[in-house]
Amino acid sequence: MDEVRPTSGAQAHGLASLFPPGLQAIYGECRRLYPDQANPLQVTAIVKYWLGGPDPLDYISMYRNVGCPAQDIQEHWHYVSFGLSDLYGDNRVHEFTGTEGPSGFGFELTFRLKREVGETAPPTWPAELMQGLARYVFQSENTFCSGDHVSWHSPLDNSESRIQHMLLTEDPQMQPVQTPFGSVSFLQIVGVCTEELQAAQQWNGQGILELLRGVHVAGGPWLITDMRRGETIFDIDPHLQERVDQGIETEGSNLSGVSAKCVWDDLSRPPEDEEDSRSICIGSQPRRLSDKDTEQIREALRKGLEFNSKTALPPINMPLPHTTHPQKPSPHRKDSLESESSAAIVPHELVRTRQLESVHLKFNQESGTLLPLCLRGRLLHGRHFTYKSINGDTAITFVSTGVEGAFATEEHPYAAHGPWLQILLTEEFVEQMLGDLQELNTREETKLPKEYSWPEKKLKISVLPDSVFDNLLP
């Protein structure tokens, strides 16, 4: 990457016809906010992504925002990406699908970083952070939406900062734009501490964002990231933890699934059985999910921000509904876990659904610590939660008795469709598991491996070191 100054402002007006229309539309929104910064510092990819370069974002512009002291908004640097949306409309990066839907992935990223005293130029490390997120979107085809969280596990600026994770929200100033290639919204990255990320996972991202807005040093109304912040919002105001706990109790969690390090084994069948269609043992090559299964799991991984009266997994045999607003993940984006149909599942005819007698679930520590969230925040509220393996097609979905469209039932609580396992847990068993898994709620490192077993339910769970999963075949 290299730093340049773009041809914008008065010079750009004379070259407007030469500017790609998608690029020009975003520049126009930036000029509306910063009419006196026609020539901002900009980071650009030396070799464009569409020419084989590693960086998906063609440009990242950096503006100086004076803030508004009267509204408790401090001075800061404002970063805006160019490239997640369709800038060119000629299929060089994104497939042009018309003007009615989203342009490219339908959004660009922004970031607001507190300006330090005496700082005359914006730090450029946020540009690489944004490129990293863009690479994830392009490689996984998972999009972002407001309220999402990103577990980064490292200071965002590679310092010793406690700001090591991110939430995403609508940019408070930039308005969605309509381009010749579709609509573009602007999602702002918000740096958060580990405790704040965990609260967002256990409750919901929107709730934590609202708490951050009310704490000046933690972001304030415009959610400006301060990499020198040394206290969490719960350190600053202990009463905020009570609000989170109350939200979890009354609303549950909106986190419906995560990408994880996980595998599962069918203990009711000998490993030499060649007909076993499970994801099977560590080190083996998992079989591929059907396209319909993949789409259903993708749908299950979306945030359920708008809940219908009944919670339902999207039926495998039903086409997924299309929406025009960008959501997670691509290509079909829908801001709800719910299917529009409660029809019974008709599994893919080439992959049979099998009922299992006994299963063994294996998670790494990070995934294992989310089990109490899965049980308390999701299943006790009549919802479902999915772990999708980052090492292959393995998926594990926990469902409650109130979830429609599941192929696991109370009579057969463990059921597999290829490498996708569903586990149905009754409320009574969930309460029992929560008591047994209580130590996973602690933030301290747990000595691994840890094993939990419920012989009467024929269920076993192991929490294992990361190195075990790193040896899995992709």
Range scoring the smallest mean pLDDT among 183-192, 330-339, 414-423 = 330-339
Q: Is the pLDDT of residue 235 over 70?
A: yes
Q: Which residues pair with 189 in a beta bridge?
A: 111, 168
Q: Is the pLDDT of residue 317 over 70?
A: no
Domains of the chain: residue spans and CATH: 21-251 (no CATH), 258-471 (3.30.1360.230)
Range scoring the smallest mean pLDDT among 7-16, 137-146, 275-284 = 275-284
Planar angle of CA 367, 400, 427, nearest 5 degrees: 95
Q: Is the pLDDT of residue 292 over 80?
A: no
Q: Is the pLDDT of residue 186 over 70?
A: yes
Residue 348: its pLDDT value, please?
42
Query: What would the mean pLDDT of 291-312 be, rounded to a whole number?
Result: 50
Cα–Cα separations (whole angstroms), residue 217 to 169, 214, 220, 226, 339? 18, 9, 7, 7, 41
Residue 264: its pLDDT value, please?
96
Q: Is the pLDDT of residue 461 over 50?
A: yes
Per DSSP (E only), the strands in 76-218 are 76-82, 102-114, 149-150, 165-170, 177-179, 182-192
Q: Is the pLDDT of residue 417 over 50?
A: yes
* HSE-CB of 458 using CA atoms within 13 angstroms: 14
Residue 168: its pLDDT value, please?
98
Q: Is the pLDDT of residue 464 over 90?
A: yes
What three-state secondary structure class fits 23? helix
Query: What would the mean pLDDT of 268-285 be, rounded to a whole number?
Result: 45
Residue 18: its pLDDT value, please?
73
Q: Is the pLDDT of residue 112 over 70?
A: yes
More confident residue, 441 or 203: 203
- At residue 241 the predicted structure's pLDDT band, cuts being 50, 70 and 90, is very high
Average pLDDT, the chain: 83
Q: What is the pLDDT of residues 124-177, one digit of tens each?
A: 999 999 999 999 999 988 899 999 999 999 999 999 999 999 999 999 999 999
Q: Is the pLDDT of residue 381 over 70?
A: yes
Q: Which residues contact 471 (CB under 8 A, 6 or more apart)?
A: 282, 283
335 CB-contact burial (10 Å; exposed 0-12 / middle 13-18 / buried 19+): middle
Residue 159: its pLDDT value, please?
96
Name the nearest CA neighbour of 179 among 84, 111, 53: 84
Q: Is the pLDDT of residue 425 over 80?
A: yes
Q: Is the pLDDT of residue 107 over 70?
A: yes
CA–CA gap between residue 1 and residue 10 (Å, rounded): 26
Q: Is the pLDDT of residue 370 over 80?
A: yes
* HEC per residue, 57-117: CCEEEEEEECCEHHHCECCEEEEEEECCCCCCCCCCCCCCCCCCCEEEEEEEEEEEEECCC
Share of the chain above pLDDT 90, in %: 69
Residue 270: its pLDDT value, please?
64
Residue 19: its pLDDT value, please?
83
Residue 293: its pLDDT value, please?
59
CA–CA gap between residue 385 and residue 398 (Å, rounded): 5
Name the nearest CA neighbour of 284 among 367, 361, 364, 393: 393
Range scoring the smallest mean pLDDT among 151-165, 285-299, 303-317, 403-417 = 303-317
Using CA atoms of 321, 322, 328, 331 in order, give the dihedral in degrees to the nearest 10. Answer: 110
Query: What would the mean pLDDT of 187-193 be, rounded to a whole number?
Result: 98
CA–CA gap between residue 148 and residue 214 (Å, rounded): 19
- At residue 7 the predicted structure's pLDDT band, cuts being 50, 70 and 90, is very low
Give the rounded distance of the alpha carbon of 397 from its chain centre.
17
Residue 312: its pLDDT value, please?
52
Q: Which residues contact 68 (CB under 8 A, 6 or more apart)?
A: none
Indicate the angle between helix axes 205-213 and 194-202, nearest 10 degrees.
130
* HSE-CB of 80 using CA atoms within 13 angstroms: 28
Share of the chain above pLDDT 70, in %: 78
Name the nearest CA neighbour of 256 among 212, 314, 211: 314
More confident residue, 141 or 347: 141
- At residue 352 the predicted structure's pLDDT band, cuts being 50, 70 and 90, is confident
Q: Which residues contact 411 (CB under 8 A, 6 or more apart)?
A: none
Q: Is the preceding omega at residue 331 within 30 degrees of 0, hence cis?
A: yes
Residue 271: its pLDDT value, please?
56
Q: Which residues contact 280 (CB under 8 A, 6 or more apart)?
A: 265, 266, 271, 286
Cα–Cα separations (whole angstroms), residue 6 to 10, 120, 223? 12, 19, 27
Q: What is the pLDDT of residues 22-51, one digit of tens each?
A: 999 999 999 999 999 999 999 999 999 999
Range scoring the smallest mean pLDDT among 6-15, 95-104, 369-378, 402-411 = 6-15
Residue 337: its pLDDT value, please?
30
Q: Is the pLDDT of residue 328 over 60?
A: no
